[in-house]
Amino acid sequence: MMARARLAAALIPATAILSCLRTESWDPCVQVVPNISYQCMELNLYKIPDNIPISTKMLDLSFNYLRHLGSHNFSSFPELQVLDLSRCEIKIIEDDTFQGLNHLSTLILTGNPIQSLAWGAFSGLSSLQKLVAVETNLVSLNDFPIGHLKTLKELNVAHNFIHSFKLPEYFSNLPNLEHLDLSNNKIQNIYYEDVKVLHQMPLLNLSLDLSLNPLDFIEPGTFKEIKLNGLTLRSNFNSSHVMKTCIQGLAGLKTNRLVLGEFKNERKLQRFDRSFLEGLCNLTIEQFRIAYLDKFSGDDTDLFNCLANVSVISLLSISLGSLQALLKDFRWQHLEITNCDFDKFPALKLSSLKKFVFTDNKDISTFTEFQLPSLQYLDLKRNHLSFKGCCSHTDFGTTNLKHLDLSFNDVITLGSNFMGLEQLEYLDFQHSTLKQINAFSAFLSLRNLRYLDISYTNIRIVFHGIFTGLVSLQTLKMAGNSFQNNLLPDIFTELTNLTVLDLSKCQLEQVAQTAFHSLSSLQVLNMSHNKLLSLDTFLYEPLHSLRILDCSFNRIMASKEQELQNLPRSLTWLNLTQNAFACVCEHQSFLQWVKDQRQLLVGAEQMMCAEPLDMENMPVLSFRNATCQLSKTIISVSVVTVLLVSVVGILVYKFYFHLMLLAGCKKYGRGESTYDAFVIYSSQDEDWVRNELVKNLEEGVPPFQLCLHYRDFIPGVAIAANIIQEGFHKSRKVIVVVSQHFIQSRWCIFEYEIAQTWQFLSSHAGIIFIVLQKLEKSLLRQQVELYRLLSRNTYLEWEDSVLGRHVFWRRLRKALLAGKPQSPEGTADAETNPQEATTST
């Protein structure tokens, strides 16, 4: 009790001090990279934390409450390179706020309702390259004080309230500006005067994004002789007519990349007039991309005539029907068609096309031959295409093909050995269904092939000459297939240059002893998710260059001691996790090897035993070799002995104070009690005990002698010993003062539990409960035994009224008098002065 009081006295001032501290002084930021990168997101900060080191280079303060940024606010971080102040409720940025940040390259102010931005707010940012001011209530570029940021490369002011496209004169001071994002503003009209500064900067390599602005008009000649690296206009026009007019207003523009169309979730045009592309004849374009335009009107006879000289064409989610009308003399070198709606596969005839990407397109199931004599790169993945008699140069109309991707399609029937495609270096069939691959040496002519992926192609390999001819192959992926009799045969004889081999999920149970003999250059081998029963290291002995071996998710139990010496010396990474290891003495040498090779074995801590049953799911590293020297009888006896000793020790420890009480009851059981009652109460209820309980009982008639810890405990004796020896052993009864503080006090509950034992051991003992205040049942139920006792037994309730006091003291004295030896004199006094005894306060 005394120690509890001292602890409370020490905690009160400490709590008061902590309550005065702001959260930012002690809420920790996440240390991403020590002394370099810190993340302080959503910490309810009102100022910059003081505990961020001066060497910090990346600081994320987003989603806090830094409403006012004053002068030199970040001068404590001179090494800062990236600063994120997104959504910090910033309203005011004063002059020289970022002064001293000479190395800052990226500043993000997204989502701040800025009301006051001083002209010198960005002074001192001599190295700034990227400034993001999205959603900052900006209404004009003229009011944005960035004219001195000569190193600026990227400016993003999207999602603001900018109405005019007029580029301020200070843009002439930004010679390095490469990207200007003005998307999702309020720009409606663009005039010649707006881009006058661009006419003065012919060498500026600027990419401009005006998407999601409600454009109505572009003055003709505005962009004449202006050169841009890129221009993006997506979801800008409310009608095809406006779109056509605005594109005509771009006449004379020279741009490396032009992007037109709409966004998937921002569709404005109900119907698309193909004639808008006519305006592109007056532009000089190197790369053209059009996205999310459908419901075309008219045919496609001359749709792309104005784009005949473009090098790169990209079509995303548009409805064309076909591309049959494309002329052979189009100079396209790169054509990308993604997620478009075609009636049939386009039979192209483009003599200059070198790269053709046709992916994720709808409603096409049959491949049609095309004539692309210059084609080197062909990507046809994810189209659900079927191929019959694949593949030869007649299918693609070229003998120059180096890259061919037919993955994620339907059925591909191999009918030729890639005749005329001898220059192929990359071939991908994954997740397509290959047929007739065992009928002949399909890859015989591909002597230049370096990458082959036939993973998950539903093939069962029977033909041992399947990879004949692949003498230059470096990477082979064949996961998810199967082999005859679940045996990996010697099929890699000619793959002497192979460096990566993936055989995962092939249901392998055995591997031929000569399967890897010719793979001396192999560096990575994946044998995971198979059914191998042992780690046969003789198999991997010829792999002199092997660095990574994955044998996880198999059924490996162990490996013989002599075999463990055969692993290649070059091996640096071995994964044996998720196997069925037998942690028995029979495999003691293997289990010891696992412990000795922790640096080699990745995830050695996750290697678990599968047997015997008593070690199931236990780490392999927990196996002890010493156990193999002990007999089962000795182990059993030892275990039983340890358990018994542990149980006895726990019982003695748990019931130590109860045993002390029992011993005391035998010692003091026949003697007279020194006190009438020992009072158990919370220190926070001490005022009531002193002013009410002690005053009325010890000064009343008859007087009762109470045992109180602050007065009657012997100094120098342990608190628990005082409670038992002075409190319980020398008292007739126990008074328990129950309150909310009592229930929440561990010391009070401890004393109450000892009181229960004391009542059980001492036949004349009794516990009197006094409830000081009404208690919530939910709180009382936290102490189950106390709740039951109060529910089943009569207790006293304190009521601070004249009648309540009278009844309370009369009932309490009566309870204390029970069993108390009384002298005739004391009895007489009690009988002649009843009024005094019951009304004393």
3-state SS record for 371-411: ECCCCCEEECCCCCCEEEEECCHHHHCCCCCCEEECCCCCE
Please measure the distance between the N-terminal and C-terminal CA atoms of the chain and give it in whole angstroms.
26
- Which H/E stretch holds residue 827? helix 824-832
Neighbours of 17 (CB within 10 A): 8
pLDDT at 498: 97
User: How does 165-190 read in b/e, with b if 16+ C-beta sit within 10 Å?
Assistant: bbbbebbeebeebbbbbbbbbebebb
Using only the alpha carbons of the chain, give its radius of gyration.
43
Dist. CA 578–CA 589, nearest whole Å = 20
pLDDT at 184: 96
Q: Which residues contact 727 (CB under 8 A, 6 or more apart)?
A: 678, 707, 709, 713, 734, 751
**What pTM value is reported for the model?**
0.69
Beta-bridge partners for 296: 272
Q: Phi-psi category of 831—alpha, beta or left, where left has phi over 0 and alpha has psi -120 to 50?
A: alpha
pLDDT in tens, 176-233: 999 999 999 999 999 999 999 998 887 788 999 999 999 999 999 999 999 999 999 9
pLDDT at 248: 92
- Which H/E stretch holds residue 677? strand 675-680
Neighbours of 711 (CB within 10 A): 9
pLDDT at 719: 74
Residue 366 per-residue DSSP state: B
Half-sphere exposure of 217 (CA within 13 A, CB side): 7
10-residue mean pLDDT series, the chain (841 residues): 44 38 55 93 91 94 95 93 96 95 96 95 95 96 93 96 94 93 96 91 89 94 93 91 91 95 79 77 94 66 81 88 67 92 81 93 80 93 90 90 96 90 96 91 94 96 94 97 95 96 96 95 97 90 95 92 81 94 90 91 93 90 76 61 71 54 50 80 86 85 85 80 77 85 79 73 72 70 66 77 85 82 50 36 27
Dist. CA 745–CA 684, nearest whole Å = 10
Half-sphere exposure of 449 (CA within 13 A, CB side): 27
Fold classification of 510-628 is: 3.80.10
Options 3.80.10.10, 3.30.9.10, 3.20.20.450, 1.10.760.10; CATH of 299-454: 3.80.10.10
pLDDT in tens, 468-499: 999 999 999 999 999 999 999 999 999 999 99
Tokens 């059993």: give the residue: 636
Cα–Cα distance list, 565 to 365, 520, 528, 559 (Å): 54, 18, 22, 11
pLDDT at 635: 58
Options 3.40.50.300, 2.30.110.10, 3.40.50.10140, 3.40.50.1170; CATH of 675-815: 3.40.50.10140
pLDDT at 429: 97
Nearest CA among 383, 443, 448, 453 for reference residue 418: 443
Dist. CA 384–CA 172, nearest whole Å = 52
Tokens 């029979």: give the residue: 586
Dist. CA 81–CA 59, nearest whole Å = 8
